Structure 1
C-alpha cells in the first residue's frame, strides 16, 4: 500500500508499505479515504522530528471499515467511519478514572504506532465512530481537530451571551470561532496577521477581526471593540510566542484564558501581561488532546451531531486536496513559507 513515512526532521518519504493485519480481536482495519495535515504534524516535521523514525505519519482521517476482529460489535465491514486517533494506556489511575488527558502514556497514531497517511490504517474498535449518511468523508477528516477545540471549551465557563477573542486563525482557531458562536457567544473577535485567514474567520462566524498593526497594539484594538471591557474568554490557538503573551491582556476582570496552541520556544512574560493575570484575577487553563469518558468522549459525539445538523462548517477550511505522493513536497512548501495553506487533505487511493 502507499504511505508517507517520517524518518527525521524534514525527511518525509512516499513509500510502499505492507498493509496492516488484524492481531487482536478488538481491532479494525480501515481503508483511508481522506487524511488531514495537523498543525502539530508541521511542527514535528520542521522542529522536533519523529518519535519513531520510519513510522507511518498522520492522525486525522476518515474511511471505510474493511475488516473487523472477532469481538468487534460496534462497527462492521462497509461502515463509513471517522477515527479518534488518541491511544490512552487504559490501565493507569488517570485512565481508570476517565481522565484520559492525564494518561502519562497517551499518544496518537502516527507517533509510535502507524498513522493514517496510508491506504489502510488499523485502530482499536472503540476509537471508530460511524458516520451519518450525509456527513462526507472530507468533513469527517476534521472531526478530531474540532474535538480538540471542544475539549478545551468544555472546561471553561463559556455560555450564551459571553464575549470571546481567538488569537490565531489556523484550523484550530477557525474551529474555535465557530464553536464559540455555536455555544452562544454574543461577540467573537478573531485575531491574526493573515488577511485571508481573517476573511475566512468572518465567513465562519467571527463578528469582528483584528489584524495586528505596528502602529496600534492588538490590546488597544481589542479594547476599542469591547468598550474597554475586554472579553469573557480569550483563546490562544496560534501556538506562537507573541500571542501566548498577548492573550493575557484580553480578558476582563474574572475572565478566562484557554491555551489550545503549543509554542515551541520559551515564553517570557512582560510585567504588563503577568500583572493582568493577578490584577484581573484570571482563570488560566490548558487543554490537551480531545478525549473524555465515556471514551472517546462527548467532544467527538458533539462534533458528529453538529456536522449531521449542518451547523458546523468544515469544508470551507479545506484549501488543498492532494494525492499522498505529493506529501513530501507540500510539507516542505508549507514549512518553508513557499505555499500558504489552511487544511490540507490527502485524497488517499485516488
Structure 2
C-alpha cells in the first residue's frame, strides 16, 4: 500500500509498504480523509515522535475493508470514524472510565503507524459507524470536535452562560461550535489574528476581541465578565488571562498544551483564592465506556445539523503533496482552520 512515511525530522517519503492484516479483534480500514493536527506539526518539524520511521495521522475516517474473526460490531463496507487512542485495559484509570489518564497507552499516528496511508488496522472497539448524513470528509473532523466537547464537559455549564474562548484555532473554533450546540449564551472569542476572529464570528461567536488591540480584562470589566473561560491556545499570556478575566466563582478549563512556563502575577493568583475560582484541565477526548460519549455526541451534532464543520475545511491535498499542507499550516499568512489529505480516490470532493 502507499503511505506517506516520516523517515527523519522534516523528511517525508511516499513509499509502498506492506498492507497490515487485521488480527482477530481488529478491522482493516481503507482511509478516506486524514486531517493534520497541531501535534502533527510538532512531530514533523520538531522531531517529537517516539521512533522513525512512522506514519502520522490520527484524525481520520474511512471504510471497513476487512474484519477479524471475532469482530461483529462492524461489517465490511461500513463507513467509520476512528478513535485513535489505544488504551491499556489493565490500567486502573481505564477501568475508572478515564482511559486517556492511563499511565501507559499507545496512539495511532504517533506511537504506532497512523492514517496518512491507504490502509490502517485498528481495534474494532475504536470504530464508530457513521450515519448516512455524515460524509467521510466531515467525519475526519470528528476527533478535534470530541476534544472540544470533552473540554466543555469538564465543568458544569448552565444554559445561557456567558463563555469566553481563548484562541481561535481549530480547537477554539470547535469549542465555539460545541458551546452553541450545547446551549451556551454569549460566546466571546479572543485571539491576536483578525482573520481568525472574523471566522469565529462567522461560525457563531457573538463577540470577538483582538488582544493585541484591546485588553480582554478591561473589556470584560466594561461589557460583562464571563462565567466560564475555556483556554485553547496554550500560550502563557492567554493562560494567565483566563484567570484574570473570569467572573467571581467562575470556571476555567485549560485545554491548550502549554508552550512555555506560565507565571501568574501575585494579584492574579490571589484572585483564585478570593473569588473562589474553579480551575480544571482537559486531556484528549475519552470517557467510559470507551471511547466515550464525546464521540457519539460529535457524530450526532454533525448528523443533526447542529454543528456544520464543512466551512472549517479550507483545502484538500493528496499524499503525493508531501509536506505542502504542513508548510501551509506553519505559514503565518495562512489562516486555514483545517487541511485534509484525501487518500481514497473514489470519495468525491469536499463540499463547501
Bin the TM-score by the shorter chain. over 0.9
Cα-to-partner distance string for 1:93-127 (whole Å, 9 max, x where unaligned): 11122221210113320112110111111100000
CA RMSD in angstroms comes to: 1.5
Contact 1:13/1:328 (<8 A) preserved: no
Equivalent of 1:246 in 241, 246, 256? 241
Contact 2:85/2:108 (<8 A) preserved: yes
Partner of 1:173: 172
Contact 2:30/2:62 (<8 A) preserved: yes
Alpha-carbon separation, structure 2, partners of 1:42 and 1:344 = 12
Question: Paired residues, what number?
Answer: 345
SS at match of 1:254: coil
Q: 1:41 to 1:188 in 2, by over 3 A?
A: same
Partner of 2:348: none
Alpha-carbon separation, structure 2, partners of 1:338 and 1:108 = 31
Deviation of residue 330 (structure 1)?
Answer: 2.2
Compute the TM-score of the two structures, normalised by the length of structure 2.
0.94
Greater Cα shift, 11-20 or 64-73:
11-20
Partner of 1:13: 13
Partner of 1:188: 187
List alignment gaps of at least 5 residues for structure 1. Answer: none
1:305 corresponds to 2:300: yes
1:231 corresponds to 2:226: yes
Q: 1:261 to 1:12 in 2, by over 3 A?
A: farther
The 5-angstrom pairing of residues 1-350 of structure 1 reads 1-22=1-22, 24-214=23-213, 216-226=214-224, 230-337=225-332, 339-350=334-345
Q: 1:327 to 1:237 in 2, by over 3 A?
A: farther
Deviation of residue 336 (structure 1)?
Answer: 4.9
Q: 1:342 to 1:327 in 2, by over 3 A?
A: farther
Contact 2:85/2:100 (<8 A) preserved: no
Compute the TM-score of the two structures, normalised by the length of structure 1.
0.94
Alpha-carbon separation, structure 1, partners of 2:73 and 2:51 = 31
Contact 2:27/2:123 (<8 A) preserved: yes
